[in-house]
């Protein structure tokens, strides 16, 4: 597939890109900083330098054009609620609408374990804008007719990949970013994950087996 991956210089993204390329996909990684192009190209992906906050409807259309799939791993990084809403909510929703218009049927959203309207985060908490943004974006994606999958990894670590996860956990734990990258590469062309919100921690089940059992 031709995949447009938004948030291409993130830690999870840079681990996912070579896996997707090795699987035979053509990956266009969207980044904001031109100084990061070499990092992206080292993964085997192509770099697209653009600030998604500045895109209008036509700009989004051009960005997603000719894509078969969109993978969203972008995040404002917290700290600034205004930018968080602009990227994690408005940007994500704009990308979904663009994907629908462009015929990019496959959409994989990286969200988080516990995301949703009932996230329970206090408005005074610095995480609130992110939680609200993800709730809105995920809900919008569910309302599209795209072949979507929402991934809900738990607390992210920098541990080495175990290649094993737990998709049946009812409480958030931790999961390595490298395992999240492997999950992205595994679900991208798996129809059994369409229309699913997949929450997971590190665990004991091989990722391919865990995904196949959904």
- pTM comes to 0.95
Known catalytic residue at 112 = no
Strand ranges (E), 53-141: 69-72, 106-110
**Radius of gyration in angstroms for the set of CA atoms belonging to the chain, rounded to a whole number:** 16
User: pLDDT tens, 182-195?
Assistant: 999 999 999 999 99
**192-205 average pLDDT score:** 97
pLDDT (mean) for 42-66: 96
Catalytic residue, candidates 85, 107, 112, 130: 130
Alpha-carbon gap, residue 122 to 53, rounded angstroms: 26
Cα-based distances in Å from 70 to 53, 112, 170: 17, 18, 28
**Contact between residue 117 and residue 139 where contact means Cβ atoms under 8 Å apart:** yes
Of the pLDDT bands very low, low, confident and very high (cuts 50, 70, 90), residue 120 is confident
* Arithmetic mean of pLDDT over the chain: 95
**C-alpha–C-alpha distance, residues 41 and 133, integer Å:** 30
Q: What does the pLDDT read at residue 95?
A: 98
Lowest model confidence (mean pLDDT) among 40-44, 124-128, 163-167: 124-128
pLDDT at 78: 67
Of 76-80, 90-94, 202-206, the one with minimum mean pLDDT is 76-80
Query: What's the pLDDT band for 171 if we cut at 50, 70, 90?
Result: very high
């Amino acid at each position: 597939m031709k995949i447009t991956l938004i948030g291409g210089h993130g830690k999870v993204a840079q681990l996912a890109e070579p896996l997707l390329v090795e699987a035979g996909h053509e990956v266009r990684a969207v980044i904001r900083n031109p100084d990061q192009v070499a990092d992206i190209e080292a993964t085997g992906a192509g770099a697209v330098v653009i600030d998604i906050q500045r895109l209008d409807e036509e700009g989004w259309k051009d960005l997603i054009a000719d894509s078969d799939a969109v993978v969203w791993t972008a995040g404002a990084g917290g700290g600034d609620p205004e930018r968080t809403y602009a990227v994690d909510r408005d940007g994500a929703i704009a990308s979904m609408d663009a994907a629908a218009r462009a015929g990019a049927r496959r959409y994989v959203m990286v969200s988080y374990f516990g995301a949703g309207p009932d996230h329970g985060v206090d408005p005074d908490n610095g995480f609130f804008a992110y939680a609200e943004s993800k709730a809105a974006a995920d809900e919008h994606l569910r309302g599209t007719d795209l072949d979507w999958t929402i991934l809900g990894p738990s607390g992210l670590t920098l541990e080495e990949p175990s290649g094993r996860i737990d998709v049946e956990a009812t409480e958030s734990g931790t999961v390595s970013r490298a395992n999240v990258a492997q999950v992205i590469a595994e679900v991208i062309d798996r129809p059994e994950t369409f229309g699913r919100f997949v929450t997971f921690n590190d665990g004991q089940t091989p990722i391919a087996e865990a995904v196949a059992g959904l």
